[in-house]
Amino acid sequence: MAENATVWEVFIQSKNGLAHKHAGNVHADDKIMALENARELYTRRNEGSCIWVVKSEHITSSESEDSEAFFDPSNDKMYRHPTFYTMPEGSKHI
């Protein structure tokens, strides 16, 4: 029996100008087939204006179990948010 085909992750841009968003994955042996399969599977109702496919094995993910430690460096930097700052009484929005 043939081995499993390669898995590709599919990202769809719903409208020109917007970011590509992960939609799911497809099986395919090469990139053209991956694009065509993604079109048939994820854009049957005009959901897309552009599709990216990338082999799943090329994606590196952070570990959700380590997410606390991994994202810790941003916890104590409230000064990165505009709400950290006090505006003088009566000043207009900048």
Partner 1 sequence: MNETKFQERIDAEKKIEPKDWMPDAYRKHLIRQISQHAHSEIIGMQPEGNWITRAPSLRAKMILLAKVQDEAGHGLYLYSACETLGISREELVKQLHDGKAKYSSIFNYPTLSWADMGAIGWLVDGAAIVNQVSLQRTSYGPYSRGMVKICKEESFHQRQGYEIMAEMAKGTPEQKAMAQDALNRFWWPSIMMFGPQDSDSPRTGNAMKWKIKRQTNDALRQDFIDKTVGQAEVIGLTIPDPDLKWNEERGSYDFGEMDWDEFWNVVNGNGPCNKQRLAHHKKAHDEGEWVRNAAKAYAKKQELVAN
Binding residues for partner 1, rule: CB under 8 A, are 1-5, 7, 24-30, 33, 40-41, 44-45, 61, 63-65
Q: Of 44 and 80, which has the nearer Cβ to partner 1?
A: 44
Between CA 52 and CA 54, with CA 53 as vertex, the angle to 5 degrees is 125
Q: Work out how close the CB of 88 gets to partner 1 at its nearest, in angstroms, rounded to a whole number.
A: 43
Task: State in angstroms the smallest separation of the CB of 45 from partner 1.
Answer: 7
Nearest-approach distance from CB 65 to partner 1, in angstroms: 7
> In this complex, which beta carbon is closest to partner 1, that of residue 18 or of residue 31?
31
Question: At closest approach, how far in Å is the CB of 63 from partner 1?
Answer: 7
Return the HEC string of the chain: CCCCCEEEEEEEECCCCCCEEEEEEEEECCHHHHHHHHHHHHCCCCCCCEEEEEEHHHCCCCCHHHHHHHHHHHCCCHHHCHHHCCCCCCCCCC
Nearer to partner 1, 40 or 87 (CB): 40
